[in-house]
Structure 1
Amino acid sequence: MLIFILKSQVANAQSKLRPTFAGVYQSGLVGQVGIGTDVDQKYFGEIRIGANDVLDADFGIEGHFSRNLYRSDWFNFHTGAMFGYYFYSSARIGLPIGFTIKPIESHRNFAILMEATPNVFTFDSYVNLRASLGIRYTFR
């Protein structure tokens, strides 16, 4: 009986964290792809991986943990924290602020992301601002 209870708890925890959307983002010369949990919830997370075609750009992975400050049927405003590691370069911590806009009323699964991420800490000891524009699709 104890094994059954433990298995059901693990299955329940995994169902809350399953990926529900995929996104493609562009930020200057650097692109990213990501998967994440439900962007319409109060809290959501995302893993982004570098998708670069520039040879000297470092490959990196980032974790975004966000909170929706405002949610509606067609628009979400979020802020949060970003923790990233760029191989052969540095680690970064940032504070993303963004908008998710769902412009097509009959198809709210498609969304456009506009986001600014001030990188407030890097091991390279410089501070910068990254602006990203991308698309997201939620699988429901």
Structure 2
Amino acid sequence: MKTKLSITAFFAILFMFSAFKGNAQVHVGLYHEGVLSHIGVGTDPEKKIFGEARVLAGGVINPFMGVEALGHYNFRQTDWYNLHGGLMLGYSEITDVQAGLPFGLSFKPIANHRQFSLLLEGTPMYGSYEFTFRALIGLRYTLSKEN
């Protein structure tokens, strides 16, 4: 039952992102949280409001899978960094339904290659009848960036 719900949620998130225009810029990311890795695909993070879908990729130590949908708002944008916050809703085999408020810093360290960024994100979240805090570090790359 949980697997069917996970697969259904994953395809719902993919359908949501397929509704965007074909020429829209997208970003891909790989994030790490302790023993759990996240793979993300989303809209252009240089816009004021952007979204992302993440798959929680289990491994040998933590074999659990999950999906998340995130909506972000850029509070501050410069050539070197973006500060953003938003809302996260997800489902995983560990906590079932979860919700959180992610706050992040996307640091763009290479002056003539701003498509690449380092993401630091903290998320106070609620799932399995308890509050927790999640910290992520990862790499993000924006595809089809117009010059």
* TM-score relative to the length of structure 1: 0.83
Q: Which runs of 5+ in 2 are unaligned?
A: 1-18
Runs of 4+ in 1 over 3 A off after TM superposition: 16-19, 54-57
Distance 2:23 2:101 in 1: 22
Percent of pairs with identical residues: 37
- The equivalences for 1:97-116 within 5 A come to 97-116=103-122
Q: CA deviation at 1:54?
A: 3.2
Instruction: Say whether the 8 Å CA contact 2:35–2:61 is kept in structure 1.
Output: no
Q: The residue matched to 2:21 in structure 1 has which SS?
A: helix
- The equivalences for 1:1-140 within 5 A come to 14-15=20-21, 18=24, 20-87=26-93, 89-119=95-125, 121-122=126-127, 124-139=128-143, 140=145
The alignment of Structure 1 onto Structure 2 pairs a total of residues equal to 126
* TM-score relative to the length of structure 2: 0.80
Distance 1:93 1:16 in 2: 29
Q: Deviation digits for residues 50-103 of structure 1, max 9, x if unmatched? A: 122135442100001010000011100000000000136411000000000000
Say if 1:116 and 1:89 are closer, same or farther in 2 by CA, change over 3 A. Answer: closer
* Structure number with bigger Rg: 1
